[in-house]
């Protein structure tokens, strides 16, 4: 497999960056800060994606490589695999589920389903962690170690993408199961069950000791029950007597209330009757008012007749006066004309008219005198009527107010009395005869209060003894305790047997794992020693175990590489990685990423390492990132 070219749209500080890969070794030399590690991480992210889960200790790559300048986050890379060319596109979002993955077949430029978004695992047959421990060699993390994915590929047992040896998971599952039964510090199900068994045995012993006390407690309990029963009977008698006294007190109070309500009703009724009788005396005044009213009406009729008569007499007087004047004028004219007879006759007629005028004038004057008397009499009558009406109105207002007050009072007391009769049996109330109880209420209440205190004290003592009896009975459950102890003993025996099986299974699995891994160890050990001798310039005795733990042999003694300098440790890890790659990829060779891994080597070893890398470049495509000319 080899990379052809890539385009970085945006990834960390890199933006709109293109690179064409060559066969063999590709040296990318740039100063610190250029983004060499970012470029290497981009290639890894194209095949393995970016983590989406947050980690509080380490900044995850998704957050770390978000574009500094903004814009789309990702790019594409073209590669060749088994003679077929592909273009892989990945763009990253805030959440892993929103990422965009596309794969194109460059022979058709059509999207292909040859690989899924897990393309790294599908091509290299390694998970991301195994890839980072093998062909992705970074100077920031040179160490490597085994995991299930590497073990599976080294053992050539991969038949499909899901066919992975899970020995580490199996061992962890066995460890968890063993810890379930037996933990350090006296914990675990077996120890807890044993402790519970000891506790139950102690309870059983206590149960046997407490059997003697139970019968005494039961006798004391029965004695207290009898005393309480006697006290309760006496208490009930006191309560009945007190209830009777309360009933008598209530009935006496109702009797007094009945008498009071009846007395108040009778008093109200008498007042109302007295007032009604008093109102009868006011009829004389009413008769006087009616008499004056009738008399006034008659007088007004007489005055009207007199006034009509005066008007008639006035008309007659006026007529006679006019006739007399006319006759006098005519008589005078006839006299002057010497018509004596006619003139005398007219003069006599004039005289008669004058006499009639005088008579009616006198009559009018006399009638006016009578009219004035009648008007005076009318005025007197009107004054008297007004006075009587005023007195009558005042009395009516006072009477109505008093009558309303007395009527309301009578109605209210009647309702109260009727309600009391409705709510009570009056016949029984009147005929009630008090009991012959001689003890007074205060004495009964005091006796009842004292008796309640005695009963409460006895009940407290009884409850205490009852609780003690229940506690004793709980501890005396000998049969169930013995059964439970037997059950726990059987359970402990079963768990111990399971623990023995699990421990033997773990032992056999570890042995099988070591035997399984040992078959590829010799070839890897030989490649490792060869690479180490090339870079170091001389032979170093270093032993590798199946877990890729290295020990250096000095003066006949093996020592862990933790005691070596950083340069020597990097030397060993580089050689270990290269030999691991050779063992992992016997057929289709992957590209190798070297992110400045020789920074801690001296000049001689760097030169030797470069010779080794050039030799490896004949088999592998190598992308080598470096910042200094001495390592380029």
pLDDT in tens, 206-261: 777 777 787 888 888 888 888 889 888 888 887 887 787 787 778 788 878 888 88
Residue that terminates a domain, selected from 378, 396, 430: 430
Residue 163 has pLDDT above 50, yes or no: no
Question: 372 is in which domain, residue-wise?
Answer: 281-430
- Count of alpha carbons within 13 angstroms of residue 276, beta-carbon side: 9
Are 418 and 513 in the same domain? Answer: no
Dist. CA 414–CA 265, nearest whole Å: 6
Give the range with max mean pLDDT: 78-92, 541-555, 567-581.
Answer: 78-92
Which tokens hold the place of 420? 């009391």
C-beta neighbour count of 570 within 10 angstroms: 22
Q: Which of 430, 447, 466 is the last residue of a domain?
A: 430
Is the pLDDT higher at 355 or at 434?
355
Per-residue pLDDT of 39-51, as tens digits, reads 999 999 999 999 8
163 within some domain:
yes
| Same domain membership, residue 20 and residue 148 | yes
Closest CA to 578 of 1, 21, 146, 136: 136
**8 A C-beta contact, residue 620 and residue 589:** yes
Could you tell me if 530 and 414 lie in one domain?
A: no
Model pLDDT for residues 516-527, shown as the tens digit of each residue = 555 556 667 667
Strands 14-20 and 591-595: unpaired
Tell me the average pLDDT across 400-428.
81
Q: Is 465 within the bounds of a domain?
A: no
Structure tokens at 7: 């385009």
Most confident of 86-95, 209-218, 555-564: 86-95
Measuring CA to CA, how many Å separate 67 from each of 49, 89, 99, 411? 16, 17, 15, 99
413 and 518 assigned to the same domain? no
Task: Report how many helices (DSSP H) and strands (DSSP E) the chain contains, helices first.
Answer: 14, 13
Say whether both 504 and 605 belong to one domain. Answer: yes
517 and 413 in a common domain: no
Our count of domains for the chain comes to: 2
Same domain? For 100 and 15 the reply is yes
The DSSP line for 569-631 is: HHHHHHHHHHHHHHHH-SSSPPEEEEESTTTTS-HHHHHHHHHHHHHHTTTSEEEEEESSGGG
**Summary mean pLDDT of the chain:** 79
Asked whether residue 322 is assigned to any structural domain, the reply reads yes
Q: Quick check: is 165 in a domain?
A: yes
Residue 83 shares a structural domain with residue 176: yes
pLDDT classification of 274: cutoffs 50, 70, 90: confident
Q: What CATH number should be reported for the domain holding residue 8?
A: 3.40.50.300
Mark whether 294 and 176 lie in a shared domain. Answer: no
Give the whole-angstrom CA distance, residue 559 versus residue 566: 15
39/159 same-domain check: yes
Read off the pLDDT of each residue in 93-120 and give the average, rounded to a whole number: 92
Half-sphere exposure of 101 (CA within 13 A, CB side): 19
Cα–Cα distance for residue pair 255/493, rounded to 1 Å: 88
pLDDT by residue (tens digit) across 486-510?
888 888 888 888 878 877 776 666 6
- Among 386, 415, 430, residue at a domain's last position: 430
- What integer pLDDT is reported at residue 441 of this predicted model? 75
Q: 272 in a domain, yes or no?
A: no
- 194: number of CA atoms within 13 Å, CB side? 12
Residue 583 tokens, joined: 């063992």
Do 13 and 152 lie in one domain? The reply is: yes
Task: Write the pLDDT tens digit of every residue in 298-341.
Answer: 877 887 888 788 788 788 888 888 887 887 888 777 777 777 77
Give ∠ CA 113-116-120 in degrees, rounded to 5. 130
User: What SS3 state is found at 372?
Assistant: helix
| 59 confidence band (pLDDT: 50, 70, 90) | low
User: Do the domain assignments include residue 235?
Assistant: no
Q: How many residues does the chain have?
A: 632
Are 424 and 518 members of one domain? no
254 lies in some domain: no
Residue 476 within any structural domain of the chain: no
pTM of full prediction above 0.75: no
């Amino acid at each position: 497999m080899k990379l052809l070219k890539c385009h970085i749209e945006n990834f960390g500080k890199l933006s709109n960056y293109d690179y064409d890969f060559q066969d063999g070794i590709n040296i990318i030399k740039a100063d610190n800060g250029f983004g060499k590690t970012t470029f290497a991480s981009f290639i890894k992210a194209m095949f393995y994606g970016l983590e989406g889960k947050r980690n509080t200790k380490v900044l995850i790559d998704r957050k770390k490589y978000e574009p500094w300048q903004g814009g789309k986050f990702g790019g594409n890379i073209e590669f060749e695999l088994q003679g077929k060319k592909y273009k892989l596109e990945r763009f990253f979002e805030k959440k892993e589920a929103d990422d965009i993955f596309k794969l194109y077949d460059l022979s058709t430029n059509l999207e292909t389903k040859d690989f899924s978004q897990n393309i790294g695992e599908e091509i290299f047959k390694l998970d991301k962690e195994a890839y980072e421990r093998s062909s992705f060699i970074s100077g920031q993390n040179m160490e490597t170690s085994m995991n299930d994915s590497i073990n599976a590929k080294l053992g050539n047992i991969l038949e499909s993408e899901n066919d992975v040896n899970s020995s580490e998971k199996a061992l962890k599952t066995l460890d968890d199961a063993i810890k379930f039964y037996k933990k350090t510090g006296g914990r675990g199900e077996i120890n807890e069950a044993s402790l519970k068994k000891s506790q139950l045995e102690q309870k059983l012993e206590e149960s046997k000791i407490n059997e003697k006390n139970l019968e005494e407690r039961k006798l004391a309990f029965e004695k207290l029950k009898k005393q309480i029963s006697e006290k309760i009977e006496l208490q009930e008698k006191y309560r009945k007597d007190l209830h009777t006294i309360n009933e008598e007190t209530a009935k006496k109070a109702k009797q007094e209330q009945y008498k009071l309500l009846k007395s108040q009703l009778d008093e109200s009724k008498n007042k109302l009757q007295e007032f009604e009788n008093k109102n009868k005396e006011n009829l004389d005044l009413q008769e006087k008012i009616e008499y004056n009213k009738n008399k006034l009406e008659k007088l007004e009729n007489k005055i009207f007749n007199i006034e009509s008569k005066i008007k008639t007499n006035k008309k007659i007087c006026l007529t006679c006066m006019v006739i007399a004047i006319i006759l006098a004028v005519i008589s005078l004219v006839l006299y002057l004309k010497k018509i004596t007879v006619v003139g005398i006759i007219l003069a006599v007629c004039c005289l008669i008219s004058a006499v009639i005028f005088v008579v009616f004038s006198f009559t009018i004057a006399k009638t006016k005198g009578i009219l004035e008397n009648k008007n005076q009499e009318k005025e007197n009558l009107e004054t008297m009527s007004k006075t009587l009406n005023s007195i009558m109105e005042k009395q009516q207002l006072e009477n109505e107010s008093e009558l309303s007050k007395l009527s309301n009072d009578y109605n209210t007391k009647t309702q109260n009395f009727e309600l009391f009769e409705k709510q009570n049996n009056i016949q029984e109330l009147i005929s009630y005869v008090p009991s012959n109880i001689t003890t007074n209420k205060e004495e009964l209440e005091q006796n009842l209060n004292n008796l309640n205190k005695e009963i409460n004290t006895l009940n407290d003592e009884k409850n205490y003894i009852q609780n003690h009896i229940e506690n004793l009975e709980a501890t005396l459950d000998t049969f169930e305790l013995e059964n439970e102890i037997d059950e726990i003993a059987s359970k402990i025996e079963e768990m111990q047997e399971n623990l023995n099986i699990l421990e033997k299974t773990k032992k056999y699995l570890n042995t099988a794992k070591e035997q399984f891994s040992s078959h590829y160890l010799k070839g890897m050990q030989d490649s490792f020693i060869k690479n180490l001798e090339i870079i170091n310039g001389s032979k170093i005795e270093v032993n590798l175990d199946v877990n890729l733990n290295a020990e250096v042999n000095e003066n006949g003694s093996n020592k862990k590489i933790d005691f070596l300098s950083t340069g020597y440790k990097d030397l060993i890890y580089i050689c270990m990685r290269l030999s691991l790659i050779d063992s992992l990829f016997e057929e289709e060779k992957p590209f190798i990423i070297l992110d400045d891994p020789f920074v801690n080597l001296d000049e001689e070893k760097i030169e030797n390492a470069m010779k080794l890398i050039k030799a490896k470049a004949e088999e592998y495509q190598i992308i080598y990132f470096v910042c200094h000319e001495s390592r380029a």
